[in-house]
Structure 1
Amino acid sequence: MVKPKYKGRSTINPSKASTNPDRVQGAGGQNMRDRATIRRLNMYRQKERRNSRGKVIKPLQYQSTVASGTVARVEPNIKWFGNTRVIKQSSLQKFQEEMDIVMKDPYRVVMKQSKLPMSLLHDRIRPHVRWGHPWQ
């Protein structure tokens, strides 16, 4: 009779390790790991397959590769975006204009500047370098 190539779930593993889903309930009682938890923890323990040059041939099961140039989308979840502040573009422009007026007037003082988004007043992301030099 031919032996099966892989042992299925019909066989019982006699070991008493915490990673064995078929172990006998011992002193742990109801606090033992269930089969799904054991499978998840064993999945984290795996290693990716690499070729002789060290390049990853097959990534890990829980890692997904996204093709270059594709746009990733962040799911709108309250858990991630619950404590963020949002402002309309028109409100931001009005705030910028009023703050410019207040900053130029020497008789007006802004109290509690730390509460205001002062970094939104000036767009210094890409300063125009050519504007600083005279035209020749």
Structure 2
Amino acid sequence: MNVLKPHLQTTIVTLLEAGTSQREIARVTGIDRKTIRAYQQRWASERANSPGVATGSPPQTPPPRPPAITTTTVSTCEPYREFIAAQLRLRRNFMSIYQDLVDQFGFTGAYNSVKRFAGKLQEHDPEQFDRLEFAPGEEAQVDYGEG
């Protein structure tokens, strides 16, 4: 009898425990449905013979974990938001904005922080596409590269 590799067996059992259908498991894993059915039957018979609590109490689920504490950090460029926004409206590049911050305001942050902050403030114009409409046969494409 051929035996599936342990990781595939674990995958099948996990998906069966989650209530996934045999057809869906076959589609996801690429394993034949008959093989999945055989493993399901084997798994069910092993569960029936396994020693366990005979009280009939439902399995306990652990309490949910508390949500992770997220701390929002304020950029070192935040106090200079108005200045940076004004410079971006003048179409200045990030390096010149950084140099002006250092020279005029004594900015101690890194250039990369200015680059990230200004990149978020920068307005991006949508790419423009011109649609040209002509009647059939009114225009032709010519290739001057040959001949």
Give the TM-score range, shorter chain: under 0.3
TM-score by length of 1: 0.24
Decide which structure has greater helix share.
Answer: 2
The answer to which structure, 1 or 2, has the higher relative contact order (CA under 8 A, 6+ apart) is: 2
